[in-house]
A and B are shown apart, each in its own frame.
Chain A
């Protein structure tokens, strides 16, 4: 079967797509920032004294890792208004749902990174008289960050791709814009191809950045320069 490719009509929708890229980018950035911050708070919550609090946090982490992002977005957008009368803007809904989705995964990356630093590293500072803060800042954190960063950036890429689910509640991001272009032009293959290329164009630099960061953090001597420049 032969297909006649025609990209020409798509050109007039470039502003719509550009807006979609902006929305995807903004949504991703917000999700990454808030999701990581929430993840950090979850790690702290997993370390508190209260056993009950730790159990609830662990339960939250496990449940939210198990709920698919699409289910979370749909539930927040369609069910919450019925149950509470509270209607949240589609963008905010996607932002909240995807942040809640990222947080437990980020928490797991951070927790496992910190716990993978051998206890002896901490003890060697303690026995010299370092405070907990000094030990964390100068010795534990630089080692933990190297271990946390690669899997965490992997989660960021996943979150970035999951923003396409926001199209289901009409957030005007790339995939939603693509749908509008398809409706207007009846060129589903060309439009979807452009949509896919836009995602790749956003995610590829991100992947390169993560690889570059990994390399930077692998450099021997990363950390606080104490004596030499």
Chain B
């Protein structure tokens, strides 16, 4: 089980970034992290992924190297999509070139990019780039996947496709932490929802509770700003 235990972080100017964040997540679970801009959602993911330091608390992650996908496109521009996805297999997993190509192709196909294997990031649309980044993270089969507003820049249709594919990966033995503003998706697909504000977890629990019957006034105010809630995915 992933255990985030009383994590606290301050910025160099003393401002609170994260304040006593505590939660846990089990394999197969999708945790949606919601909240206003500046709440600390991305910082929390970066701390869990090991990209940012923190001053207090601990992260107990028994699942090894986590995968992470950022909001901004982060594919490596000098490599083809196939090489973007295959590089880590070759370098980190010491897989043969042929095997790396096969596995990278399989993952890219599952993300709907089977016809763009040789394309370079500059030739891909924003949605394709983000799917490529997701494929790159998934190919290593991390048990912990941190996804930071992965559909933040994308149109609703592409967003729907990406989140739909994401659910296929959820069936694997993976913990997903998803920072998102798509509360409809969180309501339909998340196993738990954390509502963050000013670096603190204001409220957490099952999506139907947090998103439809929140107890805290702050959560109610935030959730009521999204009128599309309750649209269940099929």
Residues of A that sit less than 8 Å from B by CB: 120-121, 123-124, 126-130, 134, 138-139, 142-143, 146, 220-223, 225-228
The answer to whether B97 touches A227 (Cβ under 8 A) is: yes
B77 within 8 A of A: yes
Interface stretch among B2-10, B86-94, B170-178, B193-201?
Answer: B86-94
Indicate with 1 or 0, residue by residue over B65-103, a CB within 8 angstroms of chain A CB atoms: 111101010101111101100111011100001001100
Residues of B that sit less than 8 Å from A by CB: 49-51, 65-68, 70, 72, 74, 76-80, 82-83, 86-88, 90-92, 97, 100-101, 104, 118, 120, 122-123, 133, 136-137, 140, 146
In the complex, what distance in Å separates the CA atom of A77 from the CA atom of B80? 53
A127 neighbours in B (Cβ, 8 Å) = 49-51, 65-68, 146
B118 neighbours in A (Cβ, 8 Å) = 228
The answer to whether A227 touches B101 (Cβ under 8 A) is: yes
A139 neighbours in B (Cβ, 8 Å) = 76
Q: Tally A-B pairs: CB < 8 A.
A: 80
The answer to whether A130 touches B74 (Cβ under 8 A) is: no
In the complex, what distance in Å separates the CA atom of A222 from the CA atom of B122? 13
The answer to whether A228 touches B82 (Cβ under 8 A) is: yes
With a 10 A CB-CB cut-off, give which of B68, B82, B83 has the most chain A CB atoms. Answer: B83
Return B59 CB to nearest CB of chain A, in Å: 14
B83: nearest residue on chain A (CB-CB)?
A: A226
In the complex, what distance in Å separates the CA atom of A220 from the CA atom of B133? 18
- B87: which of A120, A121, A143, A226 is its contact (CB, 8 Å)? A226
The answer to whether B122 touches A220 (Cβ under 8 A) is: yes
- A143: which of B77, B100, B137 is its contact (CB, 8 Å)? B77
In the complex, what distance in Å separates the CA atom of A221 from the CA atom of B104? 17
